[in-house]
Amino acid sequence: MRINKFHIGIVLAIVCVGMLVSAFFVPWWTIEADERGPPPPAVPTVYVNSTHDFRLLGVSTSQLTETRIPGDTPEERTWSNSYSEIEDSELDAHFQILLVLVTVGTILAVLFPVFHLLSRRKAVLKSLALVLGFAVIFVMLGSATYLHVNVPSEVGNSQAGLKETLEIEAPDIQTFAGSDYDQTPLSATETTWGPSLGWYSTFVMCVIMLFAIWFTESRPKTEEEPEEEPED
């Protein structure tokens, strides 16, 4: 079988479906904090790294790594926890809405190549597939925008829950991405927050879907529409 642009477009559409499925399991937004204290020459010196990932399924997971260095012998402990929501916040509701949006986008992305493959029998399905392709892009860009608009303000209203979850003093988060540095005589804490793999992959997927739309619209002539043979 000769490979043409239409086949490439179908493959790209399948890649988009795979990316959307993986988006259910990867972090969309992350808070990471590094705390050090007390400073040398105090023994032991303690380093604490806390990472809190917000996901579509399970909503959030947290990992805390503590390293104690008494002299030259480091001792490291790592433990993880999973949460369905952060206490005293509506983040869970926002991520449930985001989950619905991504689910709708995934269903539309699955139907896109299916309609194109069936359009050989019903031409109207080709037009519907074109609409579905742009609908996927619209829904997923809407998902990324929804996260960008709602997460910072909601996290900013849940400082008590964050402090309990991260086990550190949480900064005043009001922006979608940023950092904060806090230093006291006994410790220093640097906190960073911002979008993660799920959010960034949304835009990559949209670009790939645009190419899938472009290539699938370049369908070759079918057997029902043979090329005219030149006259002798």
Question: What's the burial of 142, exposed, middle or buried (CB within 10 Å: 0-12/13-18/19+)?
Answer: middle
Quick one: tokens of 125?
């399905």
What pTM was computed for the model? 0.77
pLDDT over 70 percentage in the chain:
66
Is the Cβ–Cβ distance between 169 and 163 less than 8 Å? yes
What average pLDDT does the segment 180-191 reach?
A: 78
Give φ, ψ of 20 to 5 degrees. -70, -40
* For the chain, domain boundaries: 5-171+180-215
pLDDT digits (tens, 9 = 90+) for 160-174: 455 555 555 556 677
pLDDT digits (tens, 9 = 90+) for 68-77: 655 545 555 5
Q: Which CATH class is domain 5-171+180-215?
A: mainly alpha
221 pLDDT tier (thresholds 50, 70, 90): low
Between residues 63 and 143, the one the model is more confident about? 143
CA distance 125 to 117: 9
Report the pLDDT value the prediction gives residue 84, as an integer from 0 to 100: 47
pLDDT digits (tens, 9 = 90+) for 79-119: 555 554 444 456 777 888 999 999 999 999 999 999 998 88
133 pLDDT tier (thresholds 50, 70, 90): very high
Is the Cβ–Cβ distance between 190 and 34 less than 8 Å? yes
Report the pLDDT value the prediction gives residue 90, as an integer from 0 to 100: 67
Quick one: which of 40, 60, 43, 38 has its CA closest to 51? 60
Between residues 222 and 215, the one the model is more confident about? 215
